[in-house]
Structure 1
Amino acid sequence: MNQSDDFLFQHSKLGIAYIGLDGRCLKINDTMCNMLGYSQEEVQHIDYQNLIHPDDLKEGTVEFLQLLEGTVEQFTTDKRFIHKKGNIVWLNKTLSMIRSKTNEPQLLIAQVQNITDRKRAEEALTEAEANSHKVFEQALVGIYLHQEGKLKYINPYLADMFGYTREEFLQLKGKDLLVDEDYVKVAEQARRSLTENNETLMFAVRGRKKNQSIIHLEGHCSLTTYKGKTSIQGTVYDVTYKKQTEDLLRENANSFQRMLEYLPEPIVVHREGIIFYANKTAVQLVKAKFDAGIELIGKSIFDLLNQDDYVEINDKIQQLMHTNEASEFKERIIRCSNGELHHAEISSIRIDDANGKPVILSVFRNITERKQAEEMLIRSEKLSAIGQLAAGVAHEIRNPLTSLMGFTKVLKAKSTNQESLYFDIMQQELERINLIVNEFMTLAKPNLHEFNNGNLVDIFSSVISVLETQAIMTNVNIRKNYTDKMPCIYCDENQLKQVFLNIIKNAIEAMPEGGDIIITIREVKSAKLHIQIEDQGIGIPHTIIERIGETFFTTKEKGTGLGLMISKRIIEDHQGSFQISSDGKKGTIVDIYLPNFSQLTVSDFI
């Protein structure tokens, strides 16, 4: 071996050894010494066979004999060598024979590469694959591997899921296992997600079992590499029971919602104060424009309630979120979409929605009619008591009052001009007392009406003629917005005159600087006549409108508080309705509805 060959021998990255035919190491380079942990001197005294793991000695025997015979020039094998410290070193060994010119074998050259790390990795991978395979085989979820258009692996669970044996399943294609339309859809999704975007695909499809029954499946798949080739691996879950349960729950939820929808009680469901469901009765209660409740969805529950109740109701909602008990019904004021206010009783309870999240279900009871009936009863009892009181008071006052008025006239006739002025004042005040007594008597006496066919045009003409002078003096113009041909009504003309006189007189007094009073009469649906008297006066605040009609309530300095109350009672005795409205700043409107004579009979008024 020349100097150049010796340099390459010693500094080669491969371990190199010259081995005699007797098995002893003739020469070994530093690289191989380092692989096995021996020095040059130690190796030369060691039989080469003693460096190999006993279990690997026989491996390659056939190839070695072929090498000796010259039928092969070299052969390569992986063998375990024993390190000086006793640990195993894996070496990839290529053995070749050096021969004489006469082709006689002289020595062996072994070139080795340390592959211990690779072998350990392969062993670990083999172990992992074995463990993974065991896991796949025992998994309670379908697992598959698809490569080059064919199924390469499925676990037993997936085969059982479809009712096939594993061998039968591996012969099938995707279109054999899925409902046609679902197969087309998921194939396109897989092409986009896996091929174009390299993303994991989540899918939900319907499968077809061997017996042709349908099952619902969910799963995911992604790209992987198997034996150096691109493959698709995935998992499949049978969610048929889950799907059936969901459908049943959905059907029950729909049935429950339909039941809520047609319950006679208004129902509102809200979360964190925001409405997401309201049934038809609730929509009708708040006068929403759309029957489906669209107008309410997304609104705050507090938009339906009186502002003064916000804090108390919010505290109650927070308490309900921590209990399963329903709250007691409590009276509240409901604000409708058209601005009307209604009385209602509300009870709420916490329930769970379809997603298991807590919500508040509130039940409303519309008690507006009950409140109105209670108020009418109270007013009726009050009127009865006042009537009895008024009858007694009026009777006791009228006798001495008649005497006072008579003697005042006598004394005035005998008085001087200076004294006559005082008697005029006395007489005016006595006439005012007499007017009050007459109103008391009107309030107290029984409702004995003289109903006959009446004409509203004639009634208003009579009333206007009485008030026309007062209107002209205050620069008030009374405008008539109706024709001379209006239907007859069945009424007590004198009492209606009293009502209209009272209303128009109030309107004139509300316009000290002049203005227009517009009287409108028209036929409306429900067999009624609508009479509207509108002025351009100073208006009436809402707080006062609520009290108009109460006994003895008046804003006039010389008023009695009985005029409008008596007027309202007269209209109600005529089976009509009486309502006053004002924006509180300018103008007041009085709306009166009376039955149309042509649609009613006399018995309706008895």
Structure 2
Amino acid sequence: MAVALTLAATWLRLTLAPAESGGRFITLSLAAALSALYGGFRAGMLSTVLGMVLVNFFLVKPYGSLAFDDLREAFWLNLWHFITELVVVGAIALMQRQNRLWREAGEAVRRSTRQLEDTFEHSATGMTHTRLDGSWIRVNQTYCDLIGYTRQEIETMSFRDFTHPDDLGLDLSLQARTLAGEIDHYSIEKRYIHKQGHTVWVHLSLSLVRTPAGEPDYLIAVVQDVSDRKAIEVALRTSERLLHQAQNMARLAPWQADLVTGRFTTLSGAPGFLDLPFTDYGAADLLAIIHPEDRPLVQRQWPLAVKGEVAYNVEYRVLIGGQERWHTVQAEFERDAQGRAVRALGVTQDVTERKRTELEVQRLNATLEQRIQLRTQALRGAYDELESYSYAVAHDLRSPLRIINGFAQALQEDNPALDAASRTHLQRIMAASKKMGELIDGLLKLSQFARGEVRREPVNLSAMATHLFEELATEHPQRAMAWSVEPGLQALADPALVEALMQNLLHNAWKYTATTAQPAIRVYARVLDGQTHYCISDNGAGFDMARSDKLFQPFQRLHMPNEFAGLGIGLATSRRIVQRHGGTLQAWGTPGEGATFCFTLPAATDAPGG
């Protein structure tokens, strides 16, 4: 560009005026100034030198050559032109450089201002600039989000409007001290009331900015949301209180030991409930309060635990204030890189009450066992005496009954001429003696099932019930009975006793379906509450559940003798057999619709190897 401008200026000079007219460097000076203005110092000087060559070639005689008629004149003229252009071009270049520095400085100021504004606006903390009267200069978006209001809403409010009333007084007093010059800034934790009504905890830092003259200008507030930290602090304090309460309730005391110095320190106010005379003590102090009989245990276990050979879990007695107390102590150890224990962390629990209770229970158990043995011996003697009495009574009653029955038969046979009334009386005497004999047999049978050892063997109830049904069908061929037995019913019981149980229940069902048009008896099992119940159901006479309390009592019957024969001993015997096996016998019935009897026995799979 400098070359082009210089050539154009030379052409313009040659065109506008002849060489002899003077002012040969004027247009070339303009070209050099323009070149310096747009190209800088080097471009201006290039235009100057090139212009001097062209002027001396075209405008100095002899024209068209670089020869000079007056060399001295040409030298001073060219020197003056060069110096002038050097000053002009240098001044232009200096001005350009200064302008460039000013532009760069202005751009730096704008960039710094933009960065400050971006820092203010996009800060992770809320920031505000406020005037001394409390009005807002600017508020960033984080501050708006913190309290839930828009910028437009905040501009119509004061910070007093959303500061918690309990925190406003402290904030205003500190702000007044700042404006009075007592302090330059302050930091507090305070609460804001969010637009939605909930509380927001913040950490507020407020600083006063002064003018160059030292007068208060405006306030800068930096606000950080610390609600999560506050919630954690509250939860931590609650946990600490609960932990302290739990320790007091369980009488647990944590402690730590510096194994290098040999000092033990209790934590969390342990002496309050452990009654320890100190909070910091050495090994000798600890051994001094341990019961002499328990010291060898502690002295043996502690070194082994420190070496890591055993776990430290020791129970021993301590003597505090002349009283004996029991402590259970557990500890874990922190070790260095070489495996050496450097610190112990442990818990001591006061178990005095438990130990006293255990000792009292042991004493009571010892005396109770003695009392039980004495009571058992007494009951066994009474039971044996009762059994002997029952047998004796039954045996002694049999002889008079046989005599009564024999003489009644003899009277009937030896006196055929007796009138009808007398014969009726004799028949009633013989029937009553027979009934009495049956009652004695039932009493002996009930007594028989109440004594002796119970053998436990696998019993096939299905096969046993089928056999008994077949016997009943053979004894009563005239009965059209529909009976069914579920296959695979197994139990663990005494075979003889269970056979008597099944016989009583099946005979009972067979008897009470005698008047039913289509009698049916079913033997099956069902599971209730995870336990197998063996059931016998019939559709016979049934019974009233309101009178079921008499069902299993000896010699108690729910039907009249003229309806169904019996002594009322079968169900009592059945329940006694089931109870001796550790089971239960229950009954359900409805008059005219039948009855169901269910009993439990140990399952066959409970037998060894079953």
Which TM-score applies when normalising by structure 2? 0.37
Query: Which structure: larger Rg?
Result: 2
Structure number having the greater strand percentage: 1
Structure number having the greater helix percentage: 2
